[in-house]
Chain A
Amino acid sequence: MKIDFSEFENMIKDLFDPEFSFDSSVVESWSSMQSLIVVSAIDEHYDVLISHQELKKAKTIHQLHNILTNKLS
């Protein structure tokens, strides 16, 4: 299953209120709480569970998208 990157990126951006300041392009800047929000959303949208270890390996949204795509293939 292929997941469109811009669709994925928008899904991630939509998770957070605009007033929360974080760099959405850099995964490693996310707080623990933000990480849980993302893990939960990916599980809900794509039925794929991203582990904490996998999330830590991803430094950017692109890398996270790749992890998700690989898990789905």
Chain B
Amino acid sequence: MALFKVANTKIAGVSGAIPKNKVSNKDLVGLSQQQIDLLIKTTGIENRRIADENICASDLCFVAAEKLLEELKWDQNEIEMLVFVTQTPDYPMPGTSMILQDRLNLPKSCMTLDINQGCAGYVYGLSVISNMMSSGAIKKGLLLVGDTITKLIEKGDNSIVPIFSDAGTATAIKYDSSAKDMVFNLQTDGSGYKSIIVPEGGARNQTDSSTKKMRMQGHDVFAFALKEVIPNIESVLKYAGKEKNQIDYYILHQANKLLNESIRRKMGIDSSKVPYTLGKYGNTSCATIPLTLVSELGVEVKSRNLELLFSGFGVGLSWGAVCVNISDIVCPKLIEL
């Protein structure tokens, strides 16, 4: 079981960026008013942010990282690791993490890594960067997590269009021998890989990029999350030696309100402990967890010591949770690009 603890690393700051372009699900074409009302009520998604054609996930992560480094007063030359989690890279090759290393003026001594992960991507990315920094060889690192997933969605596909949105985030990680352990539980079920897939455009089905569109078996993904997320969270809590009520906030991947509320109620967690950004920003793929942290807890995390649980689940199928302590972190206001 990929259930493990990571010592000596701490989140120093989190920032986020969203596209300026705001669209409302109230204006969806091809649905009746009744269908729109039910959709908004069920998904909890009223507004979404859509990146312009010339804005990529890397651009959103770049501005979020620049702002975060500025507020942290970190010298770029001190950054020795950059991890970029996305499913919408700038190019099939090279990896976008390398491009971001250059754009952020990070030194050549900085290692970079791209991770192809979706809704569980923040938890997976955090596990990779914190593990690699845990020995103390690397003192400062950046975890950039974002997607412009709307670029992969067919216009008019009302099974997907009303759900997804774009965002980019940056998380600064530092080595700290006094940091509390981060406790992870990561899981995978590749037999469900077709549940959310862009079937064309990769090496297996090489086609024109115009046909690279996402397909989602909504029912299968919904059933997977209902079945797997709660046991995953309960296992990580048990391994961390924590009771449910010792967690200040559960930041769940912002999938849809019906699913997230079902998970919350079944776990018996008070609604005040489960923040949402679905209404404002929709499902921003791998970015939902840090985006929700910045948007809903941005003020509180600057001054309070908080025990948080992040839970991501989706494409792969993959899912994971982490218990993490946050105190005295830098959290700039959300940026619009």
Contacts and interface: CB of A to CB of B under 8 A. Distances in A.
A32 interface: yes
Nearest to B43: A33
A35 interface: yes
Given A20-B34, A40-B259, A33 B39 contact: yes
Interface string B202-238: 0000000000000001111011001100000000000
Task: Tell me if B's interface is mostly helix, strand, loop or mixed.
Answer: helix
A43 B220 CA distance: 14
B76 to A, nearest CB: 46
A52 B220 contact: yes
Contacts of A40: 222, 226, 258-259, 262
Contacts of A6: none
A34 B258 CA distance: 11
A53 to B, nearest CB: 9
Contact of A44 (B42, B159, B218, B265): B265
Contacts of A21: 34
Interface in B254-296: 258-259, 262, 265-266
B265 A31 contact: no
A33 B38 contact: yes
Interface centre among A32, A40, A55 (most CB of B within 10 A): A40
Given A20-B34, A40-B258, A44-B266, A49 B227 contact: yes
A44 B262 CA distance: 7
B35 interface: yes
Interface residues of A, number: 18
B38 A36 contact: no
Interface in A12-65: 19-21, 31-37, 39-40, 43-44, 49, 51-52, 55
Contacts of A37: 42, 258
Interface residues of B, number: 19
A21 to B, nearest CB: 7
Contacts of A35: 219
B259 A32 contact: no
B219 A31 contact: no
Nearest to B222: A36
A14 B300 CA distance: 38
A49 B223 CA distance: 7
Interface in B11-41: 34-35, 38-39
Given A19-B34, A31-B38, A52-B223, 9 more contacts: A35-B219, A37-B42, A37-B258, A39-B226, A40-B259, A43-B262, A44-B266, A51-B223, A52-B219
The 5 lowest CB-CB distance pairs between A and B, nearest first, are A52-B219, A40-B262, A43-B226, A33-B42, A40-B258
8 contacts: A20-B38, A33-B38, A36-B258, A43-B266, A44-B262, A49-B226, A51-B219, A52-B220
Interface of B: 34-35, 38-39, 42, 159, 217-220, 222-223, 226-227, 258-259, 262, 265-266
